[in-house]
Chains A and B, each alone.
Chain A
Amino acid sequence: MKYYDKLVFELSKEGRTGYSLPSNPYPAGPEVPSALRREVPLRLPEVSEPDVVRHYTNLSQMNFGVDTGFYPLGSCTMKYNPKINEEMAGLAGFAGLHPLMHAGLTKGALKVYQEMNKALASITGMYCFTFDPCAGAHGELTGLMIMRQYHMKRGDLRRTKVIVPDSAHGTNPASAAVCGLEVVEVKSLENGRIDVEALKPLLTEEVAGIMMTNPNTLGLFETEIKTIAELVHGIGGLLYYDGANMNPLMGVVRPGDMGFDIMHLNLHKTFSTPHGGGGPGSGPVGVCQRLEDCIPDLKVSGFHGNFGVILRAYAYILSLGKQHLRKVGQYSVLSANYIKECLKDLYKLPIDGVCKHEFVFDGLINDGAHDDVPGATTLDVAKRLLDYGFHAPTIYFPLLFHQALMIEPTETESKETIDAFIDAMRKIAGEAAQDPEILHAAPHNAPITRPDETAAARNPILKYQEN
């Protein structure tokens, strides 16, 4: 990757254009009345088409994607994004559909929704799905709305609290708060699982439900799920499943069978649609049968959700079919355990035992700290990995450990790639022990070195300004 320092505004030259439009065949229509007309100048760039193409090509070359290299970002399931899916989503017969066309005009699109609904219901053990949410956090919010709707419909207005484990994704408490629910945190045990004894006293008649990720954010299966489900259902609460970690369960375990009442899926994680640099995603929400009637009067996005993403995910499901589904779950778990076993002599593994699709180290065992030289932190390890051509794992999450380093390989990486990553991690541990300075100064061969984030936040420059 090489550093390229232009912004498109800096390529602008008055009189250049990058568009081609038909000539105007109509009689001149009225002007916008002067009182309603834009008076301020419109300083968009004026650039030619070749300039635009070269500029964005250069920008892309400062980016790292799944197609560039291994992307072991924990909790993000950076699996390969099949190319046929892109082509299918771009078909003119789908791309040209106006969202307000009635059912008679959109039979193919509706069939995709119906078949997706059936497929996801089968994979998860839920009864039916709504496809309106545009992202995982959006799905969480929708799912919690359904949870509240369910209690309100029963006339039970006391249920204003939701229980969230301390290991939860940050979106869980935020979604709950946005949905008007009060968050009650439940602690984890030493073994990383929810403390059932600590949960019991929290279960009052004010509890609407519990939000869980299983396997949790440490990649550990919540072994007490059956007891937890019985306890929560026992007080009239519901169980919400955060589908961010669904990948290891594909073809092996179904959230519906474990007692979950509501869940969301991240089609951009588990179902292989590209992350696009932070979206668009899709976060369909599934419910059990008794909650089916809580969905219809919720409108959480403009039309029918991110149809283009749903098409991609459906193509993926068709490629898996009933034959390959199980391999997704199993291989993702296999690869994660393999990496863990190959590195746990050099990185602190706070909780040993079999993990699911991901696991968390708590920094280096020997961080190389000596005399006045501070040791190498998780941030340093992450930045050094970039030099070796790998994306970094998720760092400083979950919050349970100070030096958390969360690794998720996914099932689409070969053993050779994984071994190369293990090698790099071992070399980095060696470098840290010898001379942590190499790590402090990393990355050395990325397009930029570490930026000054404090300056960025103290004096925000958030848009282009001409010199």
Chain B
Amino acid sequence: MSKIIEGLKYSESHEWVKVEGNIAIIGVSDFAQAEMGDITYVDMPEADDTVEAGEEFGALESVKASSELICPVSGTVVEVNALLEDAPEKVNEDAYAAWIIKVEMSDPAQLDALMDAAAYKAQIGE
């Protein structure tokens, strides 16, 4: 039974979004980290990179797998979580504390296409 937090938005590809004003804070769900197993590396963009909704912005790597990170919203990366560079295991420890990037949204209406906690819970069948 994986953890799902109320009040966050979720994408079909298991990213979560926390909205603070015009900034979207993006990470992966507890379900996603559990599916990956021990995460060994988080491939992240750089600050000032532009990202597009539905496009890859990075990847999670484990010993035997690589899983793309799909951006739920479009915009400009304002910050990446530098802590994950040396400690990717933070994502396994608490997927909701270990945010990956912060994006200044160019089209906040894209948030409407995302799921709420209940819908996401239904998607992952829990």
Contact = CB atoms under 8 A, between A and B. Distances in A.
Interface in B35-66: 38, 40-41, 61-64
B72 interface: no
Contacts of A458: 38, 40-41, 88-89
A372 interface: no
A396 B64 CA distance: 10
A453 B40 CA distance: 9
Contact of B61 (A453, A456, A457): A457
A454 interface: yes
Interface in A437-461: 453-454, 456-458
Interface string A390-405: 0000001000000000
Most buried by A among B40, B64, B88, B89: B40
A216 to B, nearest CB: 23
A456 B38 CA distance: 12
A173 to B, nearest CB: 14
Nearest to B38: A454
A458 B64 CA distance: 13
Contacts of A453: 63
B115 to A, nearest CB: 28
A456 B62 CA distance: 11
Contacts of B62: 454, 457
Chain B contact residues: helix, strand, loop or mixed: loop
A454 B62 CA distance: 7
Nearest to B88: A458
Contacts of A396: 64
A458 B38 CA distance: 9
Nearest to A453: B63
Contacts of B61: 457
A456 B64 CA distance: 12
Interface string A338-355: 000000000000000000
A456 B63 CA distance: 9
A458 B41 CA distance: 6
A458 B40 CA distance: 5
Interface string B8-26: 0000000000000000000
A448 B50 CA distance: 47
Nearest to A458: B40
A396 B65 CA distance: 12
B22 to A, nearest CB: 34
A396 B89 CA distance: 25
A325 B82 CA distance: 60
Contacts of B89: 458
Contacts of B64: 396
A165 to B, nearest CB: 21
A402 to B, nearest CB: 13
A98 to B, nearest CB: 43
A457 B43 CA distance: 13
Contacts of B40: 454, 457-458
B49 to A, nearest CB: 23
B66 to A, nearest CB: 11
Contacts of B38: 454, 458
Most buried by B among A396, A453, A456, A457: A457
B92 to A, nearest CB: 10
Interface in A412-447: none
Contacts of A454: 38, 40, 62-63
A50 B109 CA distance: 73
Contacts of A456: 63
Contacts of B63: 453-454, 456-457
Nearest to B87: A458
A395 to B, nearest CB: 11
Interface of B: 38, 40-41, 61-64, 88-89
Interface of A: 396, 453-454, 456-458
17 contacts: A396-B64, A453-B63, A454-B38, A454-B40, A454-B62, A454-B63, A456-B63, A457-B40, A457-B41, A457-B61, A457-B62, A457-B63, A458-B38, A458-B40, A458-B41, A458-B88, A458-B89
Which 10 residue pairs across A and B have the least CB separation, nearest first? A457-B40, A454-B38, A453-B63, A458-B40, A457-B63, A454-B63, A454-B40, A458-B88, A457-B41, A458-B89
Given A454-B62, A458-B88, 15 more contacts: A396-B64, A453-B63, A454-B38, A454-B40, A454-B63, A456-B63, A457-B40, A457-B41, A457-B61, A457-B62, A457-B63, A458-B38, A458-B40, A458-B41, A458-B89
